[in-house]
């Protein structure tokens, strides 16, 4: 139901101006709004505002990424340069153009760098979601748009962090939240477009550090909602990465601004 | 993302446009393939303080210090320029001539060529060896990602950002970086001097 | 005037006589103190490293690398890898620990004051989380944390000079710090004084930590970390070296009589302060707080959370010496207990009593929790026999029930009712389930004798344990036999506790 025709066919459809079956992936719509982010918008305590946007319902899978790599061989792991993806890019696949038995088609693709993820998204006229878009979407659970105050919501997420990653990744398609987005928690970490805007100190105890030169007019970002560990750990994870890095538990999904597809 | 074939394509396009008389994109030299760690593999179209269009990879062939700033920044960015000037002064005058400097703005919305020119004039920067440039927001993010520079736009249109001087060799490989602001980083100067002397 | 002068002179003479010798003592003591002062970090830089770089030998607890044995500063390369792994925390209970070097506590690092340490922190590719390290022996921002933030599958490097001697804690400082520490990310680094430490026969590495799980103490299965309990500072386990039984039974620390022992003892926390004591021993020397000064003849020493201590003592008498946190409920109800087994010939002139009774130590002195593991496995496979239950129940009975009801079920006349040939049990075996789960107080009659005491509810026992203990009781000391199953217990547990007894 979700898996649709190959990307190339869909791009052809786009050119022809076909409407609803244009893109391979399911995108769900989010109206956006103002909300309290762990990263204050003014650097101190301001709320963040998210314009309406669409988000892929699930992380990008091995099958989808394989189609991309086949259509754009410069993104094969044996062709992509080190500046865009580290040496372990797609290392969980058995071959440069075949995920193999260890990386099932419905599992989220991992061992992808930020550049590779951006390239995939650009190919379907999308981009990586911004941190605020991701956080906004991830605040929801199955019944509420903002479940972050619920200790049970936090404990569930913390429990995922605590599980070792020695077992195989699950397939995408977990329980949908109120927006219809799935697997924002409990499956993989996900890249965001502005991962390098998370100006937190490498020593996370230095919140409110008065070194104003550090980040030009700001010390390390003061993270709000310190009791929201589940989200803070995600910030910590993303802030430890460089754009060419990849890890076993890091995947991505794409986002598009607005609620209506632009004319091709 | 660009590849060799895309660069080839834009080179041909450039020739075509030049013939038509539209404003020309400098074509990317196709001499030898860029190293796999070269920053020049990232295509970043830029517009400089004089309104000229160029690409990041045009700087290939000469050592380059690249950094990022924005013109309405009153905290660190003036210091970044000071640091760059002081770093240059630590070199012998003829060694200096072998070095290019590129400063790209975070602020795609408000830093147009006029704003860039104002800074270049105010600080009496050695244009065209020095270039101040702007590009679209998505490219700013990609450039910062490849250089390892962090930045974030605040609600009041100011930017918080890390400061780094990144030294690229003639082929675009990162050979040194300095986070020191307001003082000359001796290690960085040594690396720079070594690179310029051609060793 | 003359008298005044005379008294002044006399006073002066007396003062001179008395004060003279006293001031000499004071001077000597002062000189001793002045000589012993290390001068801290200002005097800890012995210049650039000399000789070839050395790769530090790191050890897993409870072992300690050999003394540095160098008289000059060197460059020491330390390579430490963070590994997230599931390991047992108690019998039948596992936990996902985040470790430095694969163990809790992490590897022991040993360098010399003045050394230049090139620290490589690696984060295993299978890790989910980024990690860093703060070594309390580092002078510099974050103790290294700012320079060592490492994504999974990557490596960071930073260099520091060990300016201060002492025994220091290191731990992960990635947010939320309490969770990383609570998952076991701590260890010790010893920065030897430049003259080295006195030679001893054994050196051991012990580190206390508090652990927070959503399940109860000894509740079986993989237990997740509980952030609420950690914030409320209500640990489920308080342990030496990361697991119940980590240093008991065949894993007990070993020594012989007539030997000197040095223990490097740390406290990773995250929350609790330790009242560290070795039952049956006195610390001859304590370098309190892991610093330079020593105290002598100490029974119990405080180890702050995020702190350490070096204790030394000499063994005279063989036996099992129990290391505890003397906040004693932690030792007997949360697992803060380790054993030092000293072998050798008895020395009646020093201690004539018998070996510590196994009742006191319960099931922790011997490696006999095996029947419980066997029973757990059998139950999981659906093949639990009465024999399995009886053997497991016996092991659990010792130390839990035997303390009051005695090892032979006799009880204490007038105080604790007997379990042997008990008419109460014979009348209704299932009633015993309720007694274990909910406790019992008020007047009862057992074997024609009246008892009016209070038995507390055994809330630390889970259904398997209750079933096994009662099956053992039913099949011992002339009781009628039979078995209690896990379902029997679950049924009773599901019912509300009985109303207040007649005594109220």
Q: What is the pLDDT of residues C215-230, one digit of tens each?
A: 999 998 999 999 889 9
For the full predicted model, state whether its pTM sits above 0.95: no
What local confidence, expressed as pLDDT, does residue A256 receive? 96
C328-341 residue pLDDT tens? 999 988 999 999 99
Q: Does C232 touch chain A (CB under 8 A)?
A: no
Q: Which residue has the higher pLDDT, C203 or A1?
A: C203
User: Among A40-49, B125-134, B188-197, which stretch is predicted with the lowest mean pLDDT?
Assistant: A40-49
Four-way CATH pick for B2-197: 3.50.40.10, 3.20.20.140, 3.40.30.10, 3.30.1360.120: 3.40.30.10
Q: Omega before C132 cis (within 30°)?
A: no
Domain ranges of chain B: 2-197
- The shortest C-alpha distance from A236 to chain C (Å) reads 7
Model confidence band, residue C20 (pLDDT cutoffs 50, 70, 90): very low
Residue of B nearest to A120 (CA): B1
Please compute the mean of the pLDDT values over residues C10-23 and round it to a whole number: 48
What local confidence, expressed as pLDDT, does residue A46 receive? 75
User: Among B31-35, B122-126, B145-149, which stretch is predicted with the lowest mean pLDDT?
Assistant: B31-35
What local confidence, expressed as pLDDT, does residue A37 receive? 87
State percent of chain C over pLDDT 70.
Answer: 88
What local confidence, expressed as pLDDT, does residue B28 receive? 46
DSSP notation for C128-192: SS-B--EETT--SGGGGGGG--B-TT-EEEEEEE--S-EEEEEE--PSSHHHHHHTT-EEEEEEE
Q: For chain B, how big is the Rg over CA atoms in Å?
A: 16
Please compute the mean of the pLDDT values over residues C232-236 and round it to a whole number: 96
Please compute the mean of the pLDDT values over residues B77-87 and round it to a whole number: 91
Distance CA C125, CA A248 (A): 7
Chain C residues inside the 8 Å CB shell of A237: 129-130, 151
Residues contacting residue C209 through CB under 8 Å, at least 6 positions apart: C104, C105, C181, C182, C184, C186, C238, C239, C242, C267, C268, C269, C270
Q: Which residue has the higher pLDDT, C448 or A205?
A: C448
Specify which of A164-168, C155-159, C345-349 reaches the highest per-range mean pLDDT: C155-159
Chain B residues inside the 8 Å CB shell of A51: none
Distance CA B28, CA B186 (A): 33
State percent of chain B over pLDDT 90.
Answer: 66
Does the pLDDT at position A1 exceed 50? no
Q: Which residue has the higher pLDDT, B10 or C398?
A: C398
Whether the Cβ atoms of residue B134 and residue B116 lie closer than 8 Å to each other: yes
Which residues of B touch chain A, with CB atoms under 8 Å apart?
A: 1, 3, 5, 34, 36-39, 41-42, 73-77, 79, 138, 141-142, 144-146, 148-156, 158-163, 181-182
Whether the Cβ atoms of residue C281 and residue C319 lie closer than 8 Å to each other: no
Q: Which residue of C127, C142, C179 is in closest CB contact with A203?
A: C142
Model confidence band, residue A14 (pLDDT cutoffs 50, 70, 90): very low
Please compute the mean of the pLDDT values over residues C278-300 and round it to a whole number: 95
What local confidence, expressed as pLDDT, does residue C32 receive? 44
Chain A residues inside the 8 Å CB shell of B42: 83-84
Model confidence band, residue B79 (pLDDT cutoffs 50, 70, 90): confident
Q: Does A42 touch chain B (CB under 8 A)?
A: yes
Distance CA A157, CA A150 (A): 11
Tokens found for residue C259: 């030997």
State percent of chain A over pLDDT 90.
Answer: 55
A69-103 residue pLDDT tens? 999 999 999 999 999 999 999 999 999 999 999 89
Vertex A256 angle, CA A253 and A261, to 5°: 130
Q: Does A224 touch chain C (CB under 8 A)?
A: no
A167-213 residue pLDDT tens? 788 899 989 999 999 999 989 999 999 999 987 665 656 655 555 55
B125-134 residue pLDDT tens? 999 999 999 9
User: Among A150-164, A193-207, C143-157, which stretch is predicted with the lowest mean pLDDT?
Assistant: A193-207
What local confidence, expressed as pLDDT, does residue B11 receive? 61
Across chain A, mean pLDDT equals 83
Q: Which residue of A164, A235, A245 is in closest CB contact with C151?
A: A245
Distance CA C89, CA A191 (A): 34
């Amino acid at each position: 139901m979700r898996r649709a025709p190959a990307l190339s066919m869909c791009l052809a459809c786009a050119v022809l101006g076909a409407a609803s079956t244009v893109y391979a992936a399911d995108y769900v719509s989010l109206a956006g709004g103002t909300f309290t982010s762990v990263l204050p918008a003014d650097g101190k305590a301001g709320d963040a505002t998210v314009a309406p946007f669409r988000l892929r319902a699930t992380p990008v899978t091995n099958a989808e990424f394989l189609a991309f790599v086949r259509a754009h061989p410069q993104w094969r792991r044996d062709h992509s340069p080190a500046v865009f993806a580290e040496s372990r890019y797609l290392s969980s696949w058995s071959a440069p153009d075949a995920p193999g038995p260890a990386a099932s088609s419905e599992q989220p693709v991992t061992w992808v760098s930020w550049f590779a993820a951006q390239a995939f998204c650009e190919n379907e006229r999308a981009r990586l979601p911004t941190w605020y878009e991701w956080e906004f979407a991830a605040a929801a659970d199955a019944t509420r748009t903002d479940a972050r105050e619920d200790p049970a919501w936090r404990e569930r997420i913390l429990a995922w962090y605590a599980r070792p990653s020695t077992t195989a990744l699950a397939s995408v398609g977990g329980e949908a939240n109120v927006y219809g987005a799935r697997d924002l928690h409990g499956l993989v970490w996900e890249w965001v477009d502005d991962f390098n805007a998370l100006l937190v100190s490498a020593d996370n105890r230095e919140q409110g550090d008065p070194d104003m030169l550090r980040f030009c007019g700001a010390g390390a970002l003061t993270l709000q909602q310190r009791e929201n560990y589940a989200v803070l750990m995600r910030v910590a994870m993303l802030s430890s990465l460089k754009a060419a890095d990849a890890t076993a538990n890091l995947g991505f999904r794409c986002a598009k601004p607005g609620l209506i597809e632009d004319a091709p | 993302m660009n590849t060799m074939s895309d660069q080839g394509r834009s080179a041909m396009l450039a020739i075509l446009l030049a013939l038509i008389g539209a404003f020309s994109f400098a074509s990317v030299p196709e001499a030898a393939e860029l190293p796999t760690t070269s920053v020049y593999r990232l295509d970043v179209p830029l517009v400089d303080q004089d309104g000229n269009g160029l690409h990041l990879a045009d700087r290939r062939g000469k050592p380059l210090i690249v950094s990022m700033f924005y013109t309405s920044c009153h905290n660190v960015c003036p210091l970044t320029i000071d640091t760059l000037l002081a770093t240059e002064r630590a070199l012998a005058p003829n060694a200096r001539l072998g070095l290019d400097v590129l400063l790209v703005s975070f602020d795609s919305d408000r830093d147009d060529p006029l704003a860039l020119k104002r800074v270049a004039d105010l600080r009496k920067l050695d244009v065209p060896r020095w270039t101040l440039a702007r590009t679209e927001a998505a490219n700013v993010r990609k450039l910062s990602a490849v250089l390892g520079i962090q930045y974030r736009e605040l609600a009041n249109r100011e930017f918080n950002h890390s400061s780094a001087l990144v030294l690229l060799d003639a082929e675009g490989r990162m050979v040194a970086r300095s986070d020191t602001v307001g003082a000359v980083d001796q290690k960085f100067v040594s690396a720079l001097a070594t690179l310029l002397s051609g060793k | 005037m003359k008298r005044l002068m005379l008294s002044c002179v006399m006073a002066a003479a007396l003062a001179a006589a008395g004060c003279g010798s006293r001031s000499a003592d004071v001077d000597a003591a002062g000189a001793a103190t002045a000589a012993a002062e290390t001068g801290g970090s200002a005097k800890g830089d012995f210049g650039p490293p000399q000789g070839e770089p050395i790769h530090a030998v790191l050890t897993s607890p409870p072992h300690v690398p050999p003394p540095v044995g160098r008289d000059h500063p060197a460059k020491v390369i330390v390579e430490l890898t963070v590994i997230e792994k599931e390991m047992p925390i108690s019998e039948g209970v596992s936990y996902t620990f985040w470790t430095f070097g694969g163990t809790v506590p992490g590897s022991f690092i040993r360098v010399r004051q003045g050394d230049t340490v090139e620290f490589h922190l690696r984060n295993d590719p299978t890790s989910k989380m980024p990690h860093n390290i703060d070594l309390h022996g580092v002078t510099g921002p974050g103790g290294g944390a700012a320079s060592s933030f490492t994504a999974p599958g990557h490596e960071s490097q930073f260099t520091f000079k060990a300016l201060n001697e002492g025994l220091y804690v290191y731990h992960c400082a990635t947010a939320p710090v309490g969770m990383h520490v609570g998952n076991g990310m701590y260890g010790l680094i010893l920065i030897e004084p430049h003259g080295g430490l006195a030679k001893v026969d054994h050196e051991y590495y012990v580190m206390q930590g508090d652990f927070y799980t959503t399940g109860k103490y000894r509740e079986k299965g993989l237990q997740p970390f509980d952030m609420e309990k950690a914030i409320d500072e209500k640990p489920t386990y308080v342990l030496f070296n990361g697991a119940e039984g980590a240093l008991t039974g065949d894993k007990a620390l070993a020594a012989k009589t007539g030997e000197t022992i040095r223990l490097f003892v740390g406290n990773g926390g995250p929350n609790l302060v330790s009242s560290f004591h070795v039952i049956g021993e006195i610390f001859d020397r304590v370098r309190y707080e892991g610093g330079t000064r020593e105290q002598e003849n100490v029974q119990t020493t405080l180890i702050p959370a995020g702190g350490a201590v070096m204790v030394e003592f000499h063994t005279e008498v063989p036996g099992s010496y129990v290391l505890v946190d003397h906040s004693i409920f932690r030792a007997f109800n949360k697992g803060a207990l380790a054993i030092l087994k000293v072998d050798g010939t008895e020395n009646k002139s020093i201690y004539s009593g018998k070996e510590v009774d196994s009742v006191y130590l319960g099931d922790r002195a011997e490696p006999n929790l095996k029947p419980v593991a066997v029973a757990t496995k059998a139950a999981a496979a659906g093949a639990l026999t009465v024999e399995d239950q009886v053997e497991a129940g016996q092991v659990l009975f010792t130390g839990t029930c035997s303390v009051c009801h005695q090892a032979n079920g006799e009880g204490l006349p007038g105080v604790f009712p007997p379990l042997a040939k008990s008419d109460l049990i014979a009348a209704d075996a299932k009633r015993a389930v309720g007694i274990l789960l909910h406790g019992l107080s008020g007047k009862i009659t057992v074997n024609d004798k009246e008892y009016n005491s209070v038995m507390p509810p055994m809330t630390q026992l889970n259904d398997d344990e209750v079933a096994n203990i009662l099956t053992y009781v039913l099949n011992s000391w002339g009781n009628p036999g039979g078995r209690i199953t896990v379902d029997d217990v679950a049924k009773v547990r599901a019912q509300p506790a009985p109303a207040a007894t007649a005594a109220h």
